[in-house]
A and B are shown apart, each in its own frame.
Chain A
Amino acid sequence: MKASIRKLGFSIAGLVLLVVSGLSFYESRHLKEPVVLSDGVTQVMKLSKYFPDIEGTANDCNIYVLEGKEPGATLCILGGTHPEEPAGRLAAWLFAENGVMMKGRLIVVLSANRSATTVTRVGGAYPPDFIIPSPWGGQTFRLGDRWSNPLDQWPDPEVYIHYPSGQYLAYLDSRNLNRCWPGRPNGTLTEKTAYAFLEMIKKEKVDVVIDLHEAELQYPVISTIVTHEKGQELAAVVSMTLTDLEGFKMGLEFSPKNLHGLSHREIGDYSDAISLLFEAPEPFLDATRGKTTTDQLLTGKDEFVVKAGKHGLLFEKIDEKGWPIDVRVGRHTSAILQTMASWTEVHPERPLLCDNVPRYAEVIEKGIGKFLQDPAHGKPGRVLFE
């Protein structure tokens, strides 16, 4: 009798835990993130346009096209390859909500691995979402994870063997979009997603693809551009110009030829596009971080990471000022705008020029929220959801 009562008690407690946590997981998976389209957005498509198999899946994301007033080259920004690196998504958001292309064409993706935006890392204690304050209140964004949601792709293989190189990778990385390039049409959801993007890049004749990321300070590839050999000249000019003119250090690294599945390697190898990957510092990802909170995520302040830095264990400096999200997003917007400018210098006949997007100094001065548009005041038909 006593044992039965105890079992009943545990079952009820388990049920309550299931319902309460389940509601939280459901809400974050279905949280709608508004996008108030800039006047410069001329077309919004679905990724499935380029690969119908992706239709109806979590990864059939929106593709925002900003057609320039004058013709030119085409540049594509991939935000949300790793949603837990929010500066990438937010920088892309500023382009979709503010950008106006004067010359050339811009394709913006806010949730490249949309499935990964709908889950947080088990064991990582991530907050489900975060709020960027704005003059009109603030906007909530899903935090997400590095890997596609297991609800959308499971089980993982015993070992992940990259297509087509045959390179062995961790089984988890079969759900990592930045280990699945160039993808394949009959693969997993994440591989199909990479394949769909590559189809888009080919069909839209994209000239430059920029994949936006952030990295822990204990990771050697940080505060840098990683470039395919096709983009070495462009990336070198961007790196030097940013360091000289904008006041922040931007390194330059070359995509290793034998490291497969990454966008900077495979997009360059399997399309005509130049592929670049930008990394900004994100102390939230460091294993030595202190409390795992949205405050830490957005301010980038962390005593423990600073201590690790004092012992020479980091590849990027950090002090009590941390790495605020405005700084990280500003690095990305400036780096993208500088890429357009440097491209145009080399290819004046096919220019790229974007207006109305804040650069590094302006983002830091005014904050990202200043450039997020109020969905309540969006024009009819010009507010979409991610």
Chain B
Amino acid sequence: MDMTTYALIVLGVMVLFYAGAKLLKLSTEISMFIAAAAGCVAGGFGFSARHIAEGAMTYLDINLIFITATLFMNILKESGGVAFVVRGMFRRFRRQRAILLVLLTILLLIPGALTGAGSVTVLIAGGMVSTVLLGLGVPKVKTAAIVFIVAGLSAAAPPISLWAMMTAAGVNMPYVGFFWPLMLPCLVAGLLTMFILGWRGAPADLERALEELPVPPAGMNWLKIILPFVVFLGLIVVGRTWPHETVVTGLPLMFLCAALTSYVLSPQKMDLFQISQKTIEQLLPLLGTLTCVGILVQIMTLTGVRGLLAVTTVTLPVALVFATLFIILPVSEAVLMWGAAPVIGVPLILLFNTMGLNPIVALAGMSIIWPLGDALPPTAIIGRLTVDVTGYQGSYGQFLKACLIPAVIMMIIGTLMVVYSKQLGFLTGL
């Protein structure tokens, strides 16, 4: 049997088992695990404990970043810090809509940018930002769309962009030079989304909206909010300024230091154990997904399925690749979640690199499009989470419709960044 037939059979078995598991209403991560195990057996490798365990460790470091960054964000929220910021912004700028919308965009971008997870943005800031937007008279469906789109962009924004990190790791490319290629489009698309969907709206009862926002505990102030970020950024700056005189801490420990600072500075007593427990419960589906993506990718690599997808992708007509990026990327994200990065992103970047495009800018462009898949079935985790958190009770289809204009903007920006990546290479600063 030739390699193509063999890999196609294994791929077919994996797809069948994945679809079967989804039909049985099993979660995405369990479905991926079942698909991987079935592919391993179908490929003639039996149930390889070594490969499954090794694959599960692929994103261990990223999972640790995820956990510690989210713990930091959760402590900040529980201490009343997020409520203090949102309330402060709303009180000061509630009659200056443009400034308030800019600040809300930045506020929504921060949690996901630091953690790499749009779901963290939704959970940490989504609820309070939606209260403010509703207070400004923005319809609920548009409010939900704003939170979802900007949360997706926050996940793509630097410093932690999991799609870019995972794809870069897959092609042995340093995760360096991504800051501006990711930051600029995320900011532009985020602001456009906020202004297109949030500019119009009959001003509702601003005072009532202010009342609805959670009241921060007495003793909370800007210093207590900023200091943990200063600790985090300070550790990065120290590590970069004196790299050879500083102990290597790694991002997880840096986030942990920021989290502990926030905990110590909190004006109200908090149960650290309970917050940690809540953080893990909150992240479990995402940690499970990343773990199972690692297993799936390992088995796809073992059986040649990854090679099949890679060689098929890199030998496609380039015009076709460009023209279908806006479909391929969101759909792959909807099916595989972050697994889309190593499975689809890696061969695409190899292709772009071979074509002489700038792989960093191209990957950044792709990273802007990927988050759109988080609203699409079968997974739609972040889309559904957003709908829950913002309290939107209309049809899911209407929610998707409200996301359409910013989604098209993101697709256009992302695709143009890929096509013109060479010309935009200066953004990398390399």
Q: Specify the chain B residue showing the minimal Cβ separation from A19.
A: B49
A residues 162-183 in Cβ contact with B at 8 Å: 163-164, 166, 168-174
CB distance from B244 to the nearest CB of A (A): 5
For B174, B249, B347, the residue with the greatest tally of chain A CB atoms inside 10 Å of its CB is B174
Asked if A155 and B171 sit within 8 Å, CB to CB, the answer is no
Report how many residues on chain A are interfacial, defined by Cβ distance under 8 Å. Answer: 51
B302 at interface by CB-CB < 8 Å? yes
B3 at interface by CB-CB < 8 Å? yes
B35 at interface by CB-CB < 8 Å? no
CB distance from A161 to the nearest CB of B (A): 4
B residues 271-306 in Cβ contact with A at 8 Å: 294, 297-299, 301-304, 306
A5 at interface by CB-CB < 8 Å? no
B residues 198-238 in Cβ contact with A at 8 Å: 236
In the bound complex, what is the Cα–Cα distance between A146 and B169 (angstroms)? 13
Chain B residues with Cβ below 8 Å from A16 are 49
Asked if A163 and B244 sit within 8 Å, CB to CB, the answer is yes
Q: Specify the chain A residue showing the minimal Cβ separation from B253.
A: A155
On whether A21 and B52 interact (CB within 8 A), knowing A155-B61, A156-B248, the answer reads yes
In the bound complex, what is the Cα–Cα distance between A96 and B53 (angstroms)? 36
* Contact residue among A159, A170, A289 (Cβ-Cβ distance under 8 Å from B168): A170
* Contact residue among B43, B240, B311 (Cβ-Cβ distance under 8 Å from A159): B240
* Contact residue among A20, A21, A172, A307 (Cβ-Cβ distance under 8 Å from B54): A21
Asked if A304 and B304 sit within 8 Å, CB to CB, the answer is yes
Asked if B315 and A311 sit within 8 Å, CB to CB, the answer is yes
On whether A122 and B170 interact (CB within 8 A), knowing A289-B307, A290-B7, the answer reads no
B392 at interface by CB-CB < 8 Å? no
B12 at interface by CB-CB < 8 Å? no
Asked if A290 and B308 sit within 8 Å, CB to CB, the answer is yes
In the bound complex, what is the Cα–Cα distance between A305 and B306 (angstroms)? 12
* Contact residue among A124, A174, A304 (Cβ-Cβ distance under 8 Å from B310): A304
CB distance from A129 to the nearest CB of B (A): 12
Chain B residues with Cβ below 8 Å from A155 are 61, 248-250, 252-253
B243 at interface by CB-CB < 8 Å? yes
In the bound complex, what is the Cα–Cα distance between A122 and B59 (angstroms)? 9
**Is chain B's binding surface mostly helix, strand, loop or mixed?**
helix
Chain B residues with Cβ below 8 Å from A124 are 298, 301
In the bound complex, what is the Cα–Cα distance between A287 and B61 (angstroms)? 22
Asked if A18 and B307 sit within 8 Å, CB to CB, the answer is no
Asked if A161 and B297 sit within 8 Å, CB to CB, the answer is no
Chain A residues with Cβ below 8 Å from B243 are 157, 161, 163, 166
B57 at interface by CB-CB < 8 Å? yes
In the bound complex, what is the Cα–Cα distance between A218 and B173 (angstroms)? 14
On whether A303 and B49 interact (CB within 8 A), knowing A125-B301, A291-B304, A292-B302, the answer reads no
In the bound complex, what is the Cα–Cα distance between A164 and B43 (angstroms)? 47
B4 at interface by CB-CB < 8 Å? yes
In the bound complex, what is the Cα–Cα distance between A161 and B239 (angstroms)? 9
CB distance from B42 to the nearest CB of A (A): 12
Q: Specify the chain B residue showing the minimal Cβ separation from A21.
A: B53
Asked if B2 and A303 sit within 8 Å, CB to CB, the answer is yes
Asked if A308 and B304 sit within 8 Å, CB to CB, the answer is no
Chain A residues with Cβ below 8 Å from B50 are 20-21, 24-25, 128
For B61, B175, B304, B311, the residue with the greatest tally of chain A CB atoms inside 10 Å of its CB is B311
Asked if B244 and A308 sit within 8 Å, CB to CB, the answer is no
In the bound complex, what is the Cα–Cα distance between A155 and B64 (angstroms)? 11
CB distance from A118 to the nearest CB of B (A): 13
A349 at interface by CB-CB < 8 Å? no
Asked if A313 and B354 sit within 8 Å, CB to CB, the answer is yes
A350 at interface by CB-CB < 8 Å? no
A288 at interface by CB-CB < 8 Å? yes
CB distance from A301 to the nearest CB of B (A): 10
Asked if A158 and B174 sit within 8 Å, CB to CB, the answer is no
CB distance from A80 to the nearest CB of B (A): 19
In the bound complex, what is the Cα–Cα distance between A128 and B58 (angstroms)? 16
On whether A125 and B310 interact (CB within 8 A), knowing A156-B248, A161-B240, A307-B315, the answer reads no
> Binary interface profile of B, 162-178, with partner A (CB < 8 Å = 1, else 0)?
00000011111111100
> Binary interface profile of A, 329-348, with partner B (CB < 8 Å = 1, else 0)?
00000000000000000000
In the bound complex, what is the Cα–Cα distance between A357 and B314 (angstroms)? 41
Asked if A21 and B250 sit within 8 Å, CB to CB, the answer is no
* Contact residue among B175, B176, B314 (Cβ-Cβ distance under 8 Å from A308): B314
In the bound complex, what is the Cα–Cα distance between A171 and B254 (angstroms)? 15
Asked if A287 and B347 sit within 8 Å, CB to CB, the answer is yes
A residues 280-336 in Cβ contact with B at 8 Å: 287-292, 302-305, 307-308, 311, 313
CB distance from B243 to the nearest CB of A (A): 4
Chain A residues with a Cβ under 8 A of chain B:
16-18, 20-22, 24-25, 120, 122-125, 128, 146, 154-159, 161, 163-164, 166, 168-174, 184, 186-188, 218, 287-292, 302-305, 307-308, 311, 313
Seed contacts A122-B294, A125-B301, A186-B244; 13 additional CB < 8 Å A-B pairs: A17-B53, A21-B53, A124-B298, A155-B249, A157-B243, A158-B239, A163-B243, A170-B168, A288-B311, A288-B347, A288-B350, A289-B307, A290-B307
List 23 interface pairs A-B (beta carbons < 8 Å), by A numbering.
A16-B49, A21-B53, A122-B54, A122-B60, A123-B170, A124-B301, A155-B249, A156-B248, A157-B249, A158-B239, A159-B239, A166-B243, A170-B168, A287-B170, A302-B307, A303-B3, A303-B4, A304-B4, A304-B304, A308-B314, A311-B314, A313-B350, A313-B351
